Amino acid sequence: MPDELLDRLRRFHDDAFPQYRQQFQDLVDEGQHPTTLFIGCSDSRLVPYLLTGAGPGELFLVRNVGAFIPPYDGSHGHHGTTAAIEFAVLNLKVQRIIVCGHSHCGAIKAMYGEVSPEAPNLERWLDLGREALLPVQPGPEALRRTEQRAVILQLERLMEYPMVRSRVQAGQISLHGWHYVIEEGEVHVFDVKTGGFVPASLADNSGTGPYHPYVEHDGQVLLDEL
Ligand SMILES: [Zn+2]
């Protein structure tokens, strides 16, 4: 049986790697210094390198189902996403944190339905997005709004990480809430001032904007029409 994956590995080494050889050598010699932590959904159609035009060494990536942020609480379980946030902020000293959801997100859709009893971990994981659910039948528009509300919810949770909050407030880290519309090839950027998402083609900033304490009146933005 042909092993297509093995063929691809060989092609990468033989055809693609040579043009990056020096770049990777430099990244090995000098270490990685990515300035951006990208937290994205695991969905295969979300391709961070394509979206951002980033190359090797530029993005510190965390991906999980739904692009969810676990609560900051050292006492429960092993949270890979939490560990990655701490490492990116404290060791790599990233300047930007992107939370990127997307259209047609299976995680968001799954929250409106039943999860297989064989997937208790997935069921629990989805709890991290449930506050974003709308009390309606999940049509296309409601799903899109839920996807966007889930991004805001994760940003709020990110601000509960003390090392993130202090750096955002000191202007050392900017937060970026993104909703990527797969079929349009466009990221919609959350603007914290208006509480809405603006297509990148119309936005004046890739981030949430100067941070004002919407977290203080927790829930208000989520309850408003987006
Ligand atoms: Zn997704």
CA-CA distance, 99 to 178, in Å (whole number)? 6
Q: Cα dist. 55→73, 187, 207 in Å? A: 33, 19, 20
Relative to beta strand 186-191, strand 174-181 is antiparallel
Phi, psi (rounded to 5 degrees) for 7 = -60, -40
Q: How far is the CA of 104 from the centre of ligand 1 (A)?
A: 7
Tokens in use for 98? Answer: 């992107």
We find that the CATH architecture of domain 34-223 is: 3-Layer(aba) Sandwich (3.40)
CA-CA distance, 210 to 46, in Å (whole number)? 27
CA-CA distance, 184 to 93, in Å (whole number)? 33
For the segment 132-162, what is each residue's pLDDT rounded down to a tens digit? 999 999 999 999 999 999 999 999 999 999 9
CB of 186 within 8 A of CB of 201? Answer: yes
pLDDT (tens, 9 = 90+) of the chain, 226 residues, equals: 899 999 999 999 999 999 999 999 999 999 999 999 999 999 999 999 999 999 999 999 999 999 999 999 866 677 999 999 999 999 999 999 999 999 999 999 999 999 999 999 999 999 999 999 999 999 999 999 999 999 999 999 999 999 999 999 999 999 999 999 999 999 999 998 888 999 999 999 999 966 555 443 444 444 333 3
Q: How far is the CA of 126 from the centre of ligand 1 (A)?
A: 11
CB of 159 within 8 A of CB of 79? Answer: no
Q: Give residue for tokens 């990233």.
A: 94
Q: How far is the CA of 105 from the centre of ligand 1 (A)?
A: 4
Q: Strand (E) positions, the chain?
A: 36-41, 59-64, 96-102, 174-181, 186-191, 196-199
Percent of the chain with pLDDT over 70: 91
CB of 38 within 8 A of CB of 98? Answer: yes
Q: How far is the CA of 23 from the centre of ligand 1 (A)?
A: 31
Q: How far is the CA of 28 from the centre of ligand 1 (A)?
A: 32
CB atoms within 5 A of ion ligand 1 belong to: 41, 43, 105, 107
- DSSP letters along 140-182, please? HHHHHHHHHHHHHHHHHHHTTSHHHHHHHHTTS-EEEEEEEET
SS3 203: coil
Q: How far is the CA of 63 from the centre of ligand 1 (A)?
A: 10
Q: How far is the CA of 27 from the centre of ligand 1 (A)?
A: 30
Q: How far is the CA of 1 from the centre of ligand 1 (A)?
A: 33
